[in-house]
Amino acid sequence: MAQTKRNRFFMRTFILIVLVFAIVYTIFTNATKDKIEVLGIGDQAPDFTLVDLNGEQHRLSDYQGQGVFINFWGTWCKPCAKEMPAMNRQYEVYKEQGVQILAVNIAQSDFEVNRFAKQYGLDFPIVIDKTKSVMEAYNIDPLPTTLLINQEGKIEQIVRGGMTEKDISQFMEQIRPK
């Protein structure tokens, strides 16, 4: 009799733990659902390929071995316009050290992007995500958003919002191949 009693105790404990765990897990994930990111730090950056203003293809995996500074932006976005010249200056410093910039414009017209690039004298490659597919793959919400990809192609950091020149130079230092 004592044996069955103990079995029953374990059975009940087991069932209760399973039920409570399942419920707590569900409530917890529901409560934090909005904050779940599709991509996180340390994840492999999804590969993509886009065409720049000169008609050249840029494929992320082509830059394996280099640090890649991916900046999602739009011509109408004020913080973007502010950080772009700074990015350009740092690009001049770091491009020799193996850091590449890919500025991904979100589905704007060639005219607007071209004019913007000319106005600010940008030298780094600017690609246009015409179908927003790269934006979807990276789950980009506010503009600008910057992703730092290290030489192994892993995400080092995700920066939402604008950056100062000091930030930019620090970030570039961070992903500079060592």
Among 56, 62, 92, 136, binds another protein (CB under 8 A): 136
**Type of residue found at 53:** L
Residue 99 sits at the vertex; the CA angle it makes with 96 and 101, to the nearest 5 degrees, is 115
Of 24-32, 63-71, 84-92, 93-101, which part binds another protein (CB under 8 A)? 24-32
d(CA 73, CA 88): 14
Please say which residue, 97 or 119, places its beta carbon nearer to another protein.
Answer: 119
Task: State which residue, 132 or 166, has the beta carbon closest to another protein.
Answer: 132
Residues 147/157, Cβ–Cβ less than 8 Å? yes
Centroid of chain to Cα 155:
7
Figure out which of the listed residues 3, 42, 96, 111 binds another protein, where binding follows CB under 8 A: 111
* Residue 20 burial class via C-beta count within 10 angstroms: exposed 0-12, middle 13-18, buried 19 and up: exposed
Tell me if 44 contacts another protein by CB under 8 A.
no
56 binds another protein (CB under 8 A): no
All residues at 6 or more sequence positions from 168 whose CB lies less than 8 Å from its CB, including other chains:
83, 86, 87, 90
Of the residues 7, 22, 44, 177, which one makes contact with another protein according to CB under 8 A: 22
Binding-residue total with another protein (CB under 8 A): 48
Q: Which stretch binds another protein (CB under 8 A): 83-91, 93-101, 109-117, 155-163?
A: 109-117
Spatial distance between the Cα atoms of 164 and 15, rounded to a whole number of angstroms: 55
The sign one gets for the Cα dihedral 59, 116, 122, 154 is: negative
Q: Tell whether residue 31 is a contact of another protein (CB under 8 A).
A: yes
Token couple for 145: 């958003």
Chain positions 76 to 95 lying near another protein, rule: CB under 8 A, are 76
Chain contacts with another protein (rule: CB under 8 A) = 1, 5, 8-9, 12-13, 15-16, 19-20, 22-23, 25-27, 29-31, 33, 36, 46-50, 59, 74-76, 106-112, 114-115, 127, 129-137
